[in-house]
Amino acid sequence: MSKILVTRKIPGKAFETLQNSGNEVVVSQFDRVLLPQEIMEMGKEAEAVLTLLTDRWTGEMMDQFPKLKIISNYAVGFDNIDIKAATEKGIVVTNTTSDVVNEAVAEFTWAMIFALSKQIVTADNFAKRGLYKGWQPNIFLGHNLTGKTLGIVGLGRIGTMVALRAQGFEMKVLYHSKSKSEEIEKELGIEYRELDSLLAESDYVSLHVPLIDETRHLINAEKLELAKPGSYLINTSRGGVVDEQALVEALKSGKLAGAALDVHENEPAMNPELMQMENVILTPHIASATIEVREKMTEQAVDAILKVLSGEQPETIINKDAWQKRRK
């Protein structure tokens, strides 16, 4: 019997499978992010941890868990974990990536694009405040999407799904990524651009890159100065990809017409100036928040733990180099 720590209760039927696995499953009773000290106290002797992206796993933190075999991260991204340290210590790290998640984020991205283009949020607030006195021809004027240019930064699975959905609106699609994909270019009719050119040409720019050293503040004051006047920025990737203060200035100056952010630079804190802007939509990191996604994520996170504890390599392993020197 192994001890398994779950740092926050999660939804999904597969969670019952974990609890009925014959192992000692310790689940945090707090409906909040745990402090590192709390995780250490609850997780003493734990061989597996099912953790959230809000939990930080440094090398020093891992040293407090001498029996730890797997950190099963309940997220697609894993910038909350020191992967190098985990690999050196023989600790397997997994995530919950899948096309179910990717589809949800791609759909949410389009919801943001629509909401910005049609001023849905501001119009909703206007109506709910009782300010609507009858039809007018010149209020909440938005934009048609047909014929506009969409710039996608990061052509992974999510970026590709966003591009695919643009076909229905007859939009021109540009993309910037670490490498070109001629196959996808032909399949979807999209064009590669360097980042500066993409920003200058796009009416809508959607970010789909991981947060690594190279992408932190990828969208900064210098890049925003290159943006097409009156364009919109959408971020469903990671908050640190955008320099939010630079974004504030670009919105104040009118350089950008609006922005929609599901992720935030200092999450969970939100930029107070952005919170006051009517042309900005802020949501609390919910791009993947669907019933279908949470079921799939729980299934993957639980499956990874049970496989590692039984000596099998999980499908969603991030640090494959750790497998050969894993703790047994």
The span from the CA of 264 to the CA of 212, in Å, is: 15
Backbone CA torsion sign across 113, 114, 117, 119: negative
Percent of the chain whose predicted confidence (pLDDT) is above 90: 96
Beta bridge partners of 11: none
Q: What is the pLDDT of residues 269-317, one digit of tens each?
A: 999 999 999 999 999 999 999 999 999 999 999 999 999 999 999 999 9
Instruction: Give the pair of three-digit tokens for residue 47.
Output: 């061989």
Torsion, Cα of 230, 235, 240, 246 (10° steps): 10
Asked if pLDDT for residue 73 goes beyond 90, the answer is yes
Instruction: Give the pair of three-digit tokens for residue 117.
Output: 């283009």
Residues designated as active site: 238, 267, 285
Number of neighbouring beta carbons within 10 Å of residue 311: 9
The span from the CA of 328 to the CA of 321, in Å, is: 15
Asked if pLDDT for residue 328 goes beyond 90, the answer is no
Q: What is the pLDDT of residues 119-175, one digit of tens each?
A: 999 999 999 999 999 999 999 999 999 999 999 999 999 999 999 999 999 999 999
Q: What is the pLDDT of residues 13-38, one digit of tens each?
A: 899 999 999 999 999 999 899 999 99
Mean pLDDT over residues 217-236, rounded? 98
DSSP states of 256-294: EEEEEESS-TBTTB--HHHHT-TTEEE--S-TT--HHHH
Contact yes or no for 178/212 (Cβ under 8 A): no
**Chain CA centroid to CA 325, Å:** 30
Those residues whose C-beta lies under 8 Å from the C-beta of residue 199, and which sit 6 or more positions away, are 151, 205, 223, 224, 226, 227, 228, 231
What are all long-range contacts of 22-30, with beta carbons under 8 Å and residues at least 24 apart?
23/309
Tell me the pairing of strands 24-27 and 149-153: unpaired
The span from the CA of 73 to the CA of 50, in Å, is: 6
Domains of the chain: 3-98+291-324 (3.40.50.720), 99-282 (3.40.50.720)
Q: What amino acid occupies position 18?
A: L
Largest Cα–Cα separation, the chain: 71
| Region of 303 on the Ramachandran plot (φ > 0 left; ψ -120 to 50 alpha; else beta) | alpha
Q: What is the pLDDT of residues 79-103, one digit of tens each?
A: 899 999 999 999 999 999 999 999 9
The span from the CA of 72 to the CA of 223, in Å, is: 36
Q: Which residue is listed with tokens 């050969």?
A: 324
